[in-house]
Structure 1
Amino acid sequence: MKQAEEELGPELSGRAGVSRRAVLVGAAAWGVGALVSACSGSPSTPPGAAPVDPAPLPESPALRAQFEQTAKELMTPGAVMIVRTPDGELSATYGSRTDTGSEPVSVADHVRIGSITKTFTGTVILQLAQEGKLDIDAPVAEYRPDVPNGKNITLTQLLNMRSGLYNYSESLEFNQSLDDDPAKVWTPEELVALGFKYPAYFSPGTDYHYSNTNIVLLGLIIEQVDKQPLGSAYRTRLFTPLALHETSFPDAAVTAIPTPHPRGYMYGTNVSTMSSEALPPDQLAAAQAGTIRPHDVTDASPSWTWAAGGAISTAADLATWGRALSDGTLLNPMWQRKRLESVQPTNPGSPAAPGYGLAIAKFGPVYGHTGELPGFQSFTAYDPDRKVTVVVWANLNAAPDGRPPASTIAQKLIGTLYG
């Protein structure tokens, strides 16, 4: 959720978590964006262009081989994929739950999903707006008078990452704290206070910058307006209606992941990966030679992600969620249309860059989100026109060369599916 996410690489940027803090996949990593958008009948298709349907779901060799080859190339200990089309479903696993172990990962494994949590937060905000309990076009100052320039920042601008508020997870002091005290339990108020401490990136509405501060603020507003803890709002409004029985939002002090689960790994430190997830040339060579290994960060506190990245799920639940997010299961037609039509380019100068709207991203023909925080990287997306779902997770947040494993695998799979 860090800076990488500004590229929407680890995630759309910003870190989830952290760049990782961001949690959306960057343009550099998402080179398939231009390809699939040109091949889809989605709003990103040029006028008059003939839509191209995804190919029939390949049997084992095609997608499975591509998935395994890419996972191996990215040096992730383990990975899981699910692809669903009207022609069927393919799930596959690669590697092990531990870096040097032999116990294979499973489709049933639970993982931290980082910034995909943002889509939970955004959906609850839109439900509250649909119910008339808040106004997304109102200034955030009506709900949080302490927000700098809050009279000129709307809830919509928090949702679509155009508020200009500083992303707390990009600060050196924050990343140094994550390295020095990985067990520290952060409160949401501490997180937004850190974001308010630094100057804004730009005037509200004039640019795009992925910021976890935005989403933590929205989580606090949910608790204020819905009069229940954020986890309870997720459970009653999202998890229970969709039967997401393997999805959870643990209390801040809880670091355990439900069993079964893999261990989560990362190269470098939070500080050393602030500007780039890629290892320096000498370390990259050593990693590729196997003389340095990623370190286990499974038990580090994820409390610093909260509404921006604190949820846990499985591949199957992510597939269910990805579809519900994009097909309007949880919003009425007007609000679902408003959400999908809210997507704007994150980098108008790069046609391959993902789009971002009301806590939802668009990668070519598919809508969804990426998630990243130390130890894990994930991707879920759905094409509502052709009913194609793609889910990938990996127990490594960034490959030694900096690429986000799950998003890079998803890019390859979507490229193959759409020909």
Structure 2
Amino acid sequence: MLIAAVALTVAAGCGSSNDTGSKEPGYAATLRPIITELMKDNAIPGAVVVVKSPKDGDWTATFGTGTIGKDDPMTVDDHFRIGSNTKTMTVTVLMQLAQEGKLSLDDPIGKYWPGVPNGDRITLAQLAEMRSGLYNYTFDYDFSAAIDKDPQQVWTPEELLAIAFAHPVDFQPGEKFEYCNTNTILLGLVIEKVTNMPVADNFRQRIFEPLGLKHTSFPAPADSSMPDPHPQGYAFGTMVSTIDTFALPPDQRAAALAGTLKPGNQTTSSPSWTWTAGAAISTVDDMTTYAEALIDGKLLDTKFQNMRMDSIQPIDPANPAMAGYGLGIVRFGEHQFGHDGQIPGYMTYMASDPDSGLTIVVATNLAAVPSGEGSALVLVKGMLPTFYGADAVPGHDPAQPNSATNTPAASESPTGSTPWTTPRYSSPAPDPSA
């Protein structure tokens, strides 16, 4: 629900020095005003930013407020819902099970779960790579209306699949890329069937504990609380009003940017409808550790880590440098590998450069900015030219290739193509003819 309000003020950025207490790296003075201005221009309440650079030094900074209208500074210890970054965890466990010989990525999903359209031909790998052709339940109008009516409703994976399977498939298996939450819900069920253990226990034993992620969790479906400390999480619009894109209508966009229209508070809305596609919670420090492990192979053996990285395919074959998607992993432009995640209330980005070791993590307490782009991505795209030059953002987020955006010039693609963007909670805009 959109709520009229007094002007939204974004506090000036407040940055910490690096971990050793020494002088901030030189790039911090460049990034701080860029981030502060982008937050102001896009109505982003608060953000926490981490940059780890073996070459230029490390930097962690907090910006803005955790509660709109209050002097409530963000902290580096804040917890965030990390949305579709959860998908990397789901696919990592799937690949570990394949590595252990407990399943094959070439297995058809029908071997593990009955009733899947084309289930005899869709492989587990195609689900992980977003090339299954299954309908994304997120685009079902009645589903969105139900969430708007009762944000606390607890959804089961079976209920989500029933919604998806009631629709025709979008295309045949392997035919093309299309981001789809249905895929990762199915993979979560496969993990539980093969291990005879809840996904939460798999995540804890296979990822959280080995990496020392003490502030990362995968809550029970009925638990919509947030660990302390945490900022309040906000989102413009409703599930129904943003079913095609997060972008607000022009009049509402102007009001939001002027500060006379507040986003709704989604802090304790149930994430159960995202389950293994988006329900995890973490902090920027844990996400930094995890993003590095995801890229440097701490979670898989050499064979399967190479398989993961080699699986990345351009989402647009005509523009291979733009962005790519593989086995639960995103290539942003040409250098950054990881994922991003958006869920009502929060948006996070975590990625690392395997060549330079540059790792960037951004967490915000707003899902999408009024133009429709994911809030964390707006900041990331403003940051990347400092490290990679003016052409650092050649493409768009593979999680949302079809949506329009209206972000500042710093985040526009130099090629004129659609920039990275994540409308509809990391899902592509639906085909109106479908």
Number of the residue aligned with 2:143: 174
Provide the C-alpha distance between the structure 1 equivalents of 2:262 and 2:337, rounded to a whole number of angstroms.
Answer: 34
| Aligned 8 A contact 1:322 1:368 in 2 | yes
Number of the residue aligned with 2:227: 258
Residue 69 of structure 1, CA deviation: 1.9
Number of the residue aligned with 1:198: 167
3-state secondary structure, aligned to 1:416? helix
| Aligned 8 A contact 2:137 2:160 in 1 | yes
- The one of 285, 299, 315 equivalent to 1:346 is 315
Of the structure 1 ranges 115-124 and 139-148, higher mean CA displacement relative to structure 2 is found in 139-148
Number of the residue aligned with 2:95: 126
Pair 1:82 & 2:50 matched: yes
- The one of 185, 204, 209 equivalent to 2:154 is 185
Number of the residue aligned with 2:336: 366
Provide the C-alpha distance between the structure 2 equivalents of 1:235 and 1:146, rounded to a whole number of angstroms.
Answer: 30
Residue by residue, what CA displacement relative to the aligned partner does 1:91-124 show, whole Å, maximum 9, x if unpaired?
1111111111111011110010000000000000
Provide the C-alpha distance between the structure 1 equivalents of 2:318 and 2:367, rounded to a whole number of angstroms.
Answer: 27
Structure 1 counterpart of 2:188, one-letter code? G
Provide the C-alpha distance between the structure 1 equivalents of 2:206 and 2:320, rounded to a whole number of angstroms.
Answer: 35
| Aligned pairs (5 A) from 1:51-66 | 58-66=26-34
- The one of 60, 85, 99 equivalent to 2:68 is 99
Pair 1:394 & 2:364 matched: yes
| Aligned 8 A contact 1:74 1:403 in 2 | no
Number of the residue aligned with 2:177: 208
Number of the residue aligned with 1:151: 120
Provide the C-alpha distance between the structure 2 equivalents of 1:350 and 1:171, rounded to a whole number of angstroms.
Answer: 30
| Aligned 8 A contact 1:67 1:409 in 2 | yes
Residue 58 of structure 1, CA deviation: 2.8
| Aligned 8 A contact 1:369 1:380 in 2 | yes
TM-score (norm 1): 0.85
3-state secondary structure, aligned to 2:58? strand
| Aligned 8 A contact 2:314 2:321 in 1 | no
Pair 1:385 & 2:355 matched: yes
3-state secondary structure, aligned to 2:126? helix
Provide the C-alpha distance between the structure 2 equivalents of 1:376 and 1:166, rounded to a whole number of angstroms.
Answer: 25
Residue 341 of structure 1, CA deviation: 0.6
Change (3 A) 1:137 1:57: farther
Residue 78 of structure 1, CA deviation: 0.4
Structure 1 counterpart of 2:370, one-letter code? P
| Aligned 8 A contact 2:77 2:284 in 1 | yes
| Aligned 8 A contact 1:231 1:249 in 2 | yes
Provide the C-alpha distance between the structure 1 equivalents of 2:27 and 2:184, rounded to a whole number of angstroms.
Answer: 40
3-state secondary structure, aligned to 2:133? coil
| Aligned 8 A contact 2:25 2:58 in 1 | yes
Identify the structure with bigger relative contact order (alpha carbons < 8 Å, sequence gap 6+): 1
Structure 2 counterpart of 1:401, one-letter code? S
Structure 1 counterpart of 2:40, one-letter code? K
Number of the residue aligned with 2:236: 267
3-state secondary structure, aligned to 2:218? coil
Number of the residue aligned with 2:188: 219
Residue 418 of structure 1, CA deviation: 1.3
Number of the residue aligned with 2:304: 335
- The one of 17, 23, 39 equivalent to 1:71 is 39
Residue 351 of structure 1, CA deviation: 4.7
Residue 68 of structure 1, CA deviation: 1.8
Residue by residue, what CA displacement relative to the aligned partner does 1:10-44 show, whole Å, maximum 9, x if unpaired?
xxxxxxxxxxxxxxxxxxxxxxxxxxxxxxxxxxx
3-state secondary structure, aligned to 1:378? strand
Provide the C-alpha distance between the structure 1 equivalents of 2:354 and 2:199, rounded to a whole number of angstroms.
Answer: 28
- The one of 103, 106, 120 equivalent to 1:137 is 106
Residue 59 of structure 1, CA deviation: 4.3
TM-score (norm 2): 0.82
Change (3 A) 1:245 1:99: same
| Aligned 8 A contact 2:27 2:386 in 1 | no
Structure 2 counterpart of 1:242, one-letter code? L
| Aligned 8 A contact 1:57 1:85 in 2 | no
Q: Which runs of 5 or more structure 2 residues have no equivalent in the other structure?
A: 1-23, 390-434
Provide the C-alpha distance between the structure 2 equivalents of 1:342 and 1:60, rounded to a whole number of angstroms.
Answer: 34
- The one of 253, 257, 261 equivalent to 1:288 is 257
| Aligned 8 A contact 1:166 1:196 in 2 | yes
Residue 352 of structure 1, CA deviation: 5.8
Provide the C-alpha distance between the structure 2 equivalents of 1:82 and 1:290, rounded to a whole number of angstroms.
Answer: 27
| Aligned pairs (5 A) from 1:28-43 | none
3-state secondary structure, aligned to 1:151? coil
Residue 349 of structure 1, CA deviation: 3.5
Deviation beyond 4 Å, 4+ runs, structure 1: none
Number of the residue aligned with 1:22: none
Q: Which runs of 5 or more structure 1 residues have no equivalent in the other structure?
A: 1-55
- The one of 205, 208, 211 equivalent to 1:236 is 205
Provide the C-alpha distance between the structure 1 equivalents of 2:321 and 2:379, rounded to a whole number of angstroms.
Answer: 16
Structure 2 counterpart of 1:116, one-letter code? N
Residue 65 of structure 1, CA deviation: 2.0
Residue by residue, what CA displacement relative to the aligned partner does 1:303-330 show, whole Å, maximum 9, x if unpaired?
0000000000001101011010111001
